[in-house]
């Protein structure tokens, strides 16, 4: 008889673990609270068959695990951004590109990034928030504002909350950033097709426990009934912002319980606006760092055909409290400050990840000292209960699809090791 494995969550971590364990001959069942697979991967289609990402979006050059699955499923990766050429800034009402920055601005940015690189090289995790670190190191006002806005854009976290040591891991690992052609749900859908009826949607887990020699989960069915399912192993992939609200009745250490209760998550509202024509052409829009309520804006349709184009707007942290879902007017006003002749959007879509009950945030970040105090030493298992998800990945991959995938692979490997 095949060993039974329950996967809690059908995001990329859960789908990866389920895929690998199914191929290895395990009896796998995946329970997902949402009515779709993908978790924080969410591609949406607007008019003219164009699409954008309301969730996870970018693939860096060293995201080899994701690239490997893309190759297995015959998916194509295509250009999204090139660094630093595609970076722009809208700070204090002035629009600048890499080419139009003053020499003083460029030097100040380079100096700040070099100091952050030193933190990374030293694996330093000072007891300072990013805001405190910027003030203590006399970073110039321009560089201070750019890096503060990048805290929102990269980690959806306030600079006065995120640890300086964790922020030092930010940025891409190469010159290019990529996307999956046709949208990132191409990947999650490929996993789902392979797994088929092993995936159970609209089935939230309310309890993880133990019954005699077996592990158990209690779940709610579509009919509202609570059902208990037994298993030999469980892989828990839901964000800890959600997990901390469930009943966990297995032998966790005090450090694990504290981490699950404490790990902070950023909040973000992501909005896509589609315009009848790409008024920002002939040049690529790239990615714009701003000190407006939308800290980052970029083009979603760089390689997509048609005259229409989609811009993605993200508002994160405390500023996102003033951005409501479908706040098209505010996004339109923001872009009109840069392009006064910008047309009105013809279609839109949005998602507030902080208000989403099955994510309760965008993705994790680490407060000052957490990398040193518990992150690097925390075991991501309790007996045969394995924890996965981007929050359990290597630090440089936290918040990325790559991190979720690698954590799913690690969870599968741990369960395979139980056989030995």
> What pLDDT digit, counting tens, does each position of 97-156 carry?
888 999 999 999 999 999 999 998 998 899 999 999 999 999 999 999 999 999 999 999
Task: Provide the pLDDT confidence category of residue 170 given band limits of 50, 70 and 90.
Answer: confident
Q: Residue 304: what pLDDT?
A: 95
* Alpha helices in 97-231, H assignment, sequence order: 103-121, 130-136, 141-155, 164-167, 185-195
pLDDT value at 346 more than 80: yes
Distance CA 99, CA 178 (A): 23
Q: Residue 84: what pLDDT?
A: 74
Q: Tell me the sheet residues that pair with 94.
A: 91
Contact (Cβ atoms closer than 8 angstroms) between residue 7 and residue 237: yes
C-alpha of 325 from chain center? 19
pTM: 0.96
| Percent of the chain scoring above 70 in pLDDT | 97
Task: Provide the pLDDT confidence category of residue 85 given band limits of 50, 70 and 90.
Answer: confident
Q: Which two tokens stand for residue 328?
A: 């098209």
Q: Residue 283: what pLDDT?
A: 65
Angle between helices 64-72 and 401-418 (to 10 degrees): 80
pLDDT tens for 214-223 read: 999 999 988 8
Distance CA 54, CA 46 (A): 12
Nearest-5° angle of CA 101, CA 102, CA 104? 125
Contact (Cβ atoms closer than 8 angstroms) between residue 6 and residue 386: no
Q: What share of the chain is helix, strand, coil (3-state, %, to 5)?
A: 35, 25, 40
Q: How many CB atoms are located within 10 Å of the residue 380 CB?
A: 19
Residue ranges and CATH numbers for the domains of the chain are: 4-40+63-78+182-265+360-418 (3.50.50.60), 80-179+266-352 (3.90.660.10)
Place of tokens 């339109």: 332
pLDDT value at 284 more than 70: no
Evaluate the CA torsion angle 3, 9, 11, 12 in order and state its sign. negative
Q: Residue 176: what pLDDT?
A: 78
pLDDT value at 173 more than 60: no
Is 114 annotated for ligand binding?
no
| pLDDT (mean) for 265-284 | 89
Task: Provide the pLDDT confidence category of residue 86 given band limits of 50, 70 and 90.
Answer: confident
Contacts (Cβ under 8 Å, ≥6 apart) of 160: 129, 130, 131, 132
Task: Provide the pLDDT confidence category of residue 48 given band limits of 50, 70 and 90.
Answer: very high
pLDDT value at 172 more than 60: no
* Of 163, 258, 202, 234, nearest in space to 5 by CA: 234
Is 313 annotated for ligand binding?
yes
Q: Which two tokens stand for residue 352?
A: 């507030």
Average model confidence (pLDDT) across the chain: 93
Pairing status of strand 233-236 against strand 385-387:
parallel
* Of 168, 163, 160, nearest in space to 123 by CA: 168
Q: Tell me the sheet residues that pair with 191.
A: none
Distance CA 143, CA 51 (A): 33
pLDDT value at 264 more than 80: yes
Contact (Cβ atoms closer than 8 angstroms) between residue 281 and residue 291: no
Is 249 annotated for ligand binding?
no
pLDDT value at 239 more than 70: yes
Three-class secondary structure of residue 23 per DSSP: helix
| pLDDT (mean) for 14-41 | 98
Nearest-5° angle of CA 140, CA 143, CA 144? 75
């Amino acid at each position: 008889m095949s060993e039974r494995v329950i996967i809690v969550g059908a995001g990329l971590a859960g789908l990866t673990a389920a895929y690998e364990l199914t191929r290895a001959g395990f009896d796998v069942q995946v329970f997902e609270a949402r009515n779709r697979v993908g978790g924080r991967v969410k591609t949406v289609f607007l008019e003219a068959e164009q699409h954008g990402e309301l969730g996870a979006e970018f693939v860096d050059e060293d995201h080899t695990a994701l690239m490997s699955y893309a190759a297995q499923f015959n998916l194509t990766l295509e250009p999204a951004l090139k660094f630093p050429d595609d970076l722009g800034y809208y700070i204090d009402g002035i629009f600048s590109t890499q080419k139009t920055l003053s020499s003083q601005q460029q030097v100040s940015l380079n100096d700040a990034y070099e100091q952050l690189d030193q933190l990374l090289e030293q694996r330093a995790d000072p007891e300072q928030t990013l805001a405190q670190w910027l003030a203590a190191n006399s970073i110039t006002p321009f560089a201070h504002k750019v890096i503060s806005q990048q805290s929102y854009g990269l980690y959806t976290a306030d600079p006065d909350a995120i640890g300086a040591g964790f922020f030092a891991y930010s940025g891409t690992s190469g010159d290019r950033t990529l996307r999956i052609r046709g949208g990132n749900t191409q990947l999650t859908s490929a996993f789902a097709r392979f797994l088929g009826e092993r995936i159970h949607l609209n089935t939230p887990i309310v309890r993880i426990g133990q019954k005699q020699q077996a592990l158990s989960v209690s779940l709610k069915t579509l009919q509202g009934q609570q059902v208990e399912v037994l298993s030999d192993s469980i892989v828990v992939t839901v964000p800890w912002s959600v997990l901390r609200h469930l009943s966990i009745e297995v032998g966790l250490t005090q450090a694990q319980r504290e981490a699950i209760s404490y790990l902070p998550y950023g909040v973000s509202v992501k909005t896509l606006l589609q315009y009848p024509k790409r008024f920002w052409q002939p040049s690529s829009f790239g990615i714009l760092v701003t000190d407006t309520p939308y800290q980052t804006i970029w083009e979603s349709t760089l390689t997509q055909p048609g005259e229409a184009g989609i811009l993605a707007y993200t508002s994160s942290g405390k500023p996102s409290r003033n951005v409501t879902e479908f706040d098209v007017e505010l996004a339109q006003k923001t872009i009109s400050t840069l392009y006064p002749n910008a047309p009105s959007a013809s279609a839109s879509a949005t998602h507030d990840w902080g208000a989403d009950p099955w994510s309760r945030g965008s993705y994790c970040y680490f407060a000052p000292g957490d990398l040193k105090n518990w992150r690097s030493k925390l075991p991501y298992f309790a007996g045969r209960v394995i924890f996965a998800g981007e929050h359990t990945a290597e630090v440089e991959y936290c918040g990325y699809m790559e991190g979720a995938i690698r954590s799913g692979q690690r969870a599968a490997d741990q369960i395979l090791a139980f056989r030995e």
